[in-house]
Structure 1
Amino acid sequence: MFATIVVLAAVAVMIALGLWQRDRGQEKEALIARFARNVDAPQLTLARGTDLSLNQLRPVRLDCEDAATPDLAGAGKYGFRVIAQCRRSSLGEPIAVQLGTQARPGALPAWKGGLVTGYLSTAPDSRSLLRLLSDHRPAPAMVVADPPLAGLSANPGPDLSEIPNNHRSYMVQWFAFAAIALIIYGVALRARWRKA
């Protein structure tokens, strides 16, 4: 009896996880569809009150009045991203600006601000995976300059193919685990009944 309760509880958890992954897959599909619309949308001038979360990957224009000294962040095959914090801008709040990329770490450009065109993305997030379990705030927004600024190499453009949506395969896995658990338990019960 106890084994049956444990197996049924485990199967219920696996089914619940499969349904959760199904819902997450639908949310991700809607998000990717919104991103695709944003990529093709007309350029938006960032101003006070702009909802940054709804405009990810949209072409934007920003007037940065004052910028801090840039920092470097890793960019994989592109080398390093050069990112400056725009302290005062048409947005009315600080926002990061990815000026461009450079192949190796080295001298950073002296960019103090100006007009930026490009697309809206998210800034690198230094929070650990453990911290992300309790801290659910989205990564801060960032303008990726296009064309690049301060004599730097070009930034990569928005690429929807890099946004994974593997929730449906996870859903199938959880449902398969539930089915396999029931089959194995059924075989074990049948063997037990035959012995009895």
Structure 2
Amino acid sequence: MIAIRNLPVIPTVLVALAVATMIGLGIWQIQRKAEKEALVDRYASTSALPPVAWPEPPDTELLYRRATGFCLEPVDWRSIAGQNREGEAGWQHIASCRTGGGEGPGMQVVVGWSASMEPPEDWEGGEVSGIIALDPEYEIRLVSEDAAPGLQPVARPDPADMPNNHLLYAIQWFFFAGAAALIYVLALRKRMRS
């Protein structure tokens, strides 16, 4: 057994602080897990609400809600990796749409999926109905329920697809804390023997 009076003060305090910090991070991850589950539940309940008009400015509180917007004309295109409704990998085609007299795109619309990265040539805009989804670049985008000519419908946004790895992160932090404490105890025992 290691006598308390024989413990090196500074290393012991540093290891104790590190272990306490890792345990605190593990507890925080467990709290984040509960918050993420509540968020997913809230988003899942929005799909039953009535549709809304496309929000100006973008409002992430409306994620996963049905909405309708009007694309006067697509001013730019981008393609991102995505899936169609059958789960096939390919490209989602997103139009940056002009929605009014203002400058620049006012709405991002996922108009469909294809195996090719090339955007559709035949889609010139119009009324779009679909589901509001997160867009890393523009905050939100409207995922059209119907595909543009020549494209297939994309997989519907689902809040259940949101990653929730917080329990794994918590276990990882608790493991690190236990490993650090064990390594320190073994190092102390070795030091006391020599």
Write out per-residue CA displacement over residues 91-115 of structure 1, whole angstroms, 9 at most, x where no aligned residue: x971210100111234632423210
How big is the shift at 1:124? 5.2
Of 59, 80, 90, which residue of structure 1 is paired with 2:91?
Answer: 80
1:31 aligns with 2:42: no
How big is the shift at 1:37? 0.9
Match of 1:143 in 2: 142
Write out per-residue CA displacement over residues 55-104 of structure 1, whole angstroms, 9 at most, x where no aligned residue: 11111111222321433222263311111111225xx9712101001112
CA distance in 1, matches of 2:119, 2:166: 42
How big is the shift at 1:179? 2.3
What secondary structure is seen at the aligned counterpart in 1 of 2:123? coil
What secondary structure is seen at the aligned counterpart in 1 of 2:98? strand
Change (3 A) 1:86 1:35: same
Of 26, 33, 47, which residue of structure 2 is paired with 1:18?
Answer: 26
How big is the shift at 1:27? 2.4
Letter matched to residue 62 of structure 2: N
What secondary structure is seen at the aligned counterpart in 2 of 1:10? helix
How big is the shift at 1:140? 1.9
What secondary structure is seen at the aligned counterpart in 2 of 1:175? helix
CA distance in 1, matches of 2:47, 2:167: 25
Residues 60, 134 of structure 2: 8 Å contact kept = no
TM-score by length of 2: 0.78
Match of 1:45 in 2: 53
Match of 2:64 in 1: 57
Match of 1:184 in 2: 183
Please say which structure displays the higher CA radius of gyration: 2
CA distance in 2, matches of 1:144, 1:101: 11
Change (3 A) 1:47 1:17: closer
Can you give the 5+ residue segments of structure 2 that lack an aligned partner in the other structure?
1-7
CA distance in 2, matches of 1:73, 1:185: 48
1:109 aligns with 2:117: no
Change (3 A) 1:167 1:8: same
Residues 76, 96 of structure 2: 8 Å contact kept = yes
CA distance in 2, matches of 1:95, 1:22: 36
1:123 aligns with 2:122: no
CA distance in 1, matches of 2:99, 2:156: 25
Can you give the 5+ residue segments of structure 1 that lack an aligned partner in the other structure?
126-138
Match of 2:5 in 1: none
TM-score by length of 1: 0.78
How big is the shift at 1:12? 2.4
Which aligned segments of 4 or more residues in structure 1 are displaced greater than 3 angstroms?
190-193
Aligned residues between the structures? 180
Letter matched to residue 79 of structure 1: G
**% identical equivalent positions:** 32
